[in-house]
Amino acid sequence: MKSRTPFSINLKLILLCFFFLLILILVTRSSFSSSQQPISETHLSNSTSTNQEPQSSTTTPCPSLPLSQTCSKTPPSLANALIHYATTNITPQQTFKEISVSARILAKKSPCNFLVFGLGHDSLMWTSLNHGGRTVFLEEDKSWIEQILERLPTLESYHVEYDTKVHQADQLIKIGMEEDCKVVSDPRFSKCQLALKGFPSEVYDIEWDLIMVDAPTGYHDNAPGRMNAIYTAGLMARNREEGETDVFVHDVDRVVEDKFSKAFLCEGYLTEQEGRIRHFTIPSHRARLGRPFCP
């Protein structure tokens, strides 16, 4: 999630336009909802009166136009994001097309529960796109959390630890093929060595509608790698009571992200790939018992 080199100004401008468009959609939706309410009430009133005894023939005159208008303010999270990205030279590390993959799902599901592995310069954007929902970030670098939260204190982030290394990936993927790793359960009680069990309890208690795996660090052999994060994201998705979870994995151009996402999020659940990001839609395995781990 950390961005080590600034992206071009063009991406920055595109993102600002994207936020303005989202604000317009929210305002339009709010105005549309307000305009629909009186209509449905009038329809209900008319329907009721047809089933009752005829009353006096006096009719209520229609209200004169224009009707009173309501002022729709920009949500604070969106306003903060606009100001932040307009005044910084650092932009999110995903490309516009990659961001659009998950943004489209957020537009449909928000406000919702959104879990993100990693904390970075794009975190305020994700929180803003999930306006009214809960967006939680899990980050392995404690000093990085302090640095980000000093500038963006409204973000909800937790420090987590990983005890694996990228060079162990081949051994871990073999472990993941064992029967214990195909049993769907709360990760805290899983017998699979790939399941992460040290997160705050609320991370396990919440049913996540979206999960983004963009951490931990995985670009060198001694980095923690995303093997366990990818497996655990899939396990959380399968373990929800009903419905489905959209899981996104970034940096699938790398070997670990490529192999582990295909193995544990399953190619049969793969919905879309754009650039370096993959989108999987994983249904609840508790709602329909007997589902195979992968379709």
- Per-residue pLDDT of the chain (295 residues), as tens digits, is 664 444 445 555 566 566 656 655 654 554 444 444 443 433 334 444 444 444 444 444 444 444 445 556 666 666 666 666 656 666 667 999 999 999 999 999 999 999 999 999 999 999 999 999 999 999 999 999 999 999 999 999 999 999 999 999 999 999 999 999 999 999 999 999 999 999 999 999 999 999 999 999 999 999 999 999 999 999 999 999 999 999 999 999 999 999 999 999 999 999 999 999 999 999 999 999 889 999 9
Residue 44 CA to residue 82 CA, distance in Å, equals 42
Confirm if 102 and 128 have CB atoms less than 8 A apart: no
> Dihedral of CA 198/203/205/209: which sign?
negative
- Own/partner contacts of 191-200, CB < 8 Å, gap of 24 or more, are 192/231, 192/235, 194/227, 194/228, 194/231, 194/232, 194/264, 195/228, 195/231, 195/232, 195/235, 196/160, 196/162, 196/228, 196/229, 196/232, 198/160, 198/161, 199/138, 199/158, 199/160, 200/158
pLDDT for 289: 87
pTM for this one?
0.76
pLDDT at 33: 46
End-to-end Cα, the chain, rounded Å: 30
Residues 6+ apart with CB under 8 A from 34: 70
- pLDDT for the residue 93: 79
Strand pairing partners for 211? Answer: 115, 247
